Amino acid sequence: MRYTLLILSLLHLLVAENSFGQTDLTRTKDAYDTVFSLPKSNLELRIRIFDLSTDDPDMNTAILMLTNKHGKVVFTDSLHMGRLDFSFEDYNGDGIQDLVLYRHMLASRSNMSYNLYLISANGQNLQKVKGFEDVLNPSFDPKRRLIKSSYLYGSYIGWSYFKIDRNGKLHKISRNYTERVG
């Protein structure tokens, strides 16, 4: 009983810490539809996945729509999402949590790809980072302000480094490194 209360308390704190809550989640056989407020903003983001049947990452299966408090659409985009999975993480080192959306798993080696949308300083707009979907298993190193891409293939692990410039453009800043793991 104590552990159940502890787990429920931690989940509650986690949701409160992220400062966003889902206001609506609808799931049908072939679609997801959710709406939530962006952190530290008066905008709502709607994610609608309309096709869960395709595994082709080149086919758009979802729509993002950002609306202001008056219901006016301020941003929209279509993209591939393999499932409803998202988080907020700072990937450009500006101290603002950006929107990270699951895209696709490549091969059977758990090489995950994501879509990244930078949230503006005033929290009123999104900017898609083109090419981020090619950064596999990304992680951000805040000390070096670099994004590390790490990936598995065969008996090797590979990695390389990227950086997002002030204009929101992704740049590869290293060569590909590899190491045998097996």
> What pLDDT is attached to residue 91?
96
Q: Which whole-number Å values give the CA distances from 59 to 40, 42, 137, in the listed order?
A: 32, 31, 21
Which is more confident, 2 or 139? 139
**Confidence bin at 154 (pLDDT 50/70/90):** confident
Contact 33, 22 (CB under 8 A): no
> What pLDDT is attached to residue 8?
35
Domain range list for the chain: 22-180
Q: What whole-number distance in Å separates Cα of residue 142 and Cα of residue 91?
A: 8
The dihedral sign for the CA sequence 105, 49, 29, 12: positive
Contact 175, 164 (CB under 8 A): no
Would the pTM count as exceeding 0.85?
Answer: no
Task: Average the pLDDT over 133-146 and give the result.
Answer: 95
Q: What whole-number distance in Å separates Cα of residue 65 and Cα of residue 59?
A: 18
Task: Average the pLDDT over 26-49 and give the result.
Answer: 82
